[in-house]
Amino acid sequence: MAFFDEARIQAISGKGGNGCLSFRREKYIPRGGPDGGDGGDGGNVIVCLDTNLNSLNHLKGKKVFAAKAGSSGSGKNMRGESGNDLIIFVPNGTLIHALETGEYVGEINLETESIIIAKGGKGGLGNARFKSSTNQAPRKITNGEEADSREILLELRLIADVGLLGLPNAGKSTLISNITNSKSKIGAYAFTTLDPELGVMENAVQKITIADLPGIIEGASKGLGLGTKFLKHAYRTKFLLHLVDGTQNPAEALESFNIIEKELKDFHLDFSAQKRWICITKTDLIDDQDLSDLIIKFQTKFPKTAIYPISSITKDGLDVLTEELFKQI
């Protein structure tokens, strides 16, 4: 499934209900006292955790989130009904920013499961509140507080456990289609994947989310191709798998690997803390000696990096790779 890692919304709380101007009107009580009730409070707009979500897809196309207003008070000291809160559910690790001020509001996670982003207006006071020894028939009331409207950016801190890197057609879409529930679009041309795809790989005890990141080309860190947007996606993963097309000769394969690594280094975000492995793909199309030469080339250059030869067509190496991923995450 395609995923969205940020959403810009307008959050509007509910206005508070107005206080009521009323006096008792009962038989045999010609001069009843004030009995105007208070207005109800307006509803809040609240961002809440939903651990079943892993993207902001459900917010796509939705721009305005408005809570209900409070009702006005009424006679007989009846308080107006409070407006219902409006709940926006988001995944674990969602960052909240106020766009107009640049303020960082907070993060939704397992420790902070809800944050009010637009507080409802307080209900106004009815005239019963203003009765005193010197004023037995007050006509004063107050109106409810106005609604609060805020422009909010919701942004995922992490979009996936594992991100798949590689030049266009390195085999990312085929791999994620084989090891997860994703049905990523596959084709034999650059930029087949125009939107990131998210898949879930699971065993009896674990679930791992894997993001198929669109092809990043030389110059992406400066905005070329699909550019900085997808380098940002890569940064929001815990772990990176760098896929290299094994049908290239060793020099070409190393060059394609270095192109991506250079884009990560040149981007303004620091990728150095993210662990990554190398996957040599399409091993079904190369003979054993060529594969051995390719592995040796990468092992010599990157002795501390794990290297996994795989074929998404014959499934060779996939069991080993997925087993090791479950150990890492």
Q: Among 109, 135, 157, which residue terminates a domain? A: 157
**pLDDT score at 222:** 60
**Proportion of the chain above pLDDT 70, given as a percent:** 88
- State whether 172 and 321 are in the same domain: yes
Last residue of a domain, one of 135, 157, 179: 157
pLDDT of residue 271: 84
Q: Are residues 37 and 100 in the same domain?
A: yes
Shared-domain flag, residues 113 and 16:
yes
Radius of gyration of the chain from its Cα atoms, rounded to whole angstroms:
29
Asked whether residue 135 falls in the same domain as residue 177, the answer is: no
SS3 210: strand
Residue 46 belongs to what domain range? 1-157
On whether both 151 and 177 belong to a single domain, the answer is: no
Query: Same structural domain for residues 168 and 95?
Result: no
**Residue 30 or residue 261, greater confidence:** 261
pLDDT of residue 191: 44
Query: Are residues 202 and 134 located together in one domain of the fold?
Result: no
Cα separation, 296 vs 284, in Å, equals 18
Q: List the single range of 100-109, 166-175, 286-295 with lowest mean pLDDT.
A: 166-175
Can you give the CATH number for the domain in which 129 is found? 2.70.210.12
In angstroms, the CA 166 to CA 245 distance is 8
For 202, the token pair is 């699971």
- Please check whether residues 41 and 131 belong to one and the same domain: yes
- Per the structure, the count of domains in the chain is 2
Long-range contacts at 177-182 (CB < 8 A, ≥ 24 apart)? 177/312, 178/312, 178/315, 178/318, 179/210, 179/318, 179/321, 179/322, 180/210, 182/1, 182/210, 182/212
CA separation for the pair 155, 95 (Å, rounded)? 5
CATH number at residue 249: 3.40.50.300
Q: Is 34:137 a contact under the CB 8 Å cutoff?
A: yes
**Is residue 176 domain-shared with residue 139, that is, in the same domain?**
no
What whole-number distance in Å separates Cα of residue 140 and Cα of residue 142?
7
Is the same domain home to 82 and 212?
no
- Are 167 and 144 in the same domain? no
* Chosen domain end from 126, 141, 157: 157
Q: List the single range of 88-102, 133-147, 225-239, 308-322 with lowest mean pLDDT.
A: 225-239
Q: Tell me the mean pLDDT in the region 187-195.
A: 47
**pLDDT tens across 255-307, in order?**
999 988 888 888 877 888 889 999 999 999 999 999 999 999 999 999 999 99
pLDDT at 185: 53
* pLDDT higher than 90, residue 242: yes
